[in-house]
Amino acid sequence: MTENLTDAERETQLAPLLANGWAMADGRDAIQKSFVFRNFIDAFGFMTKVAIWAEKLNHHPEWSNVYKTVDVTLTTHDCDGISALDAKLGAKMDALAKE
């Protein structure tokens, strides 16, 4: 079973994400970020790339898309909180958004 990040793991794994625009979600143990692209095609292309990685990791984001904006929330439902999977997928999403 997947486990929540410890306080020490949160410091090392979440700090870089929080410094890169992610934020703690209100009212739940999750992180959130909005990605804004030039247009709908770029936003949808980003979501397609992320979907491939989400399948590889067997970890899927909560997300929505309106025109050129993709809003993302990452949490691990198996442990009802943030796990290493969230940190890994968040870092991958940041890298894919820069491509």
What's the mean pLDDT when you consider all of the chain?
96
Q: Which residues on neighbouring strands pair with residue 33, listed in sequence order?
A: 72
Q: Which residues contact 22 (CB under 8 A, 6 or more apart)?
A: 14, 31, 32, 33, 90
pTM summary value: 0.94
CB 10 within 8 A of CB 24: no
Question: What's the whole-number mean pLDDT along residues 44-53?
Answer: 98
Q: What is the pLDDT of residues 30-39, one digit of tens each?
A: 999 999 999 9
For position 2, what pLDDT does the model report? 85
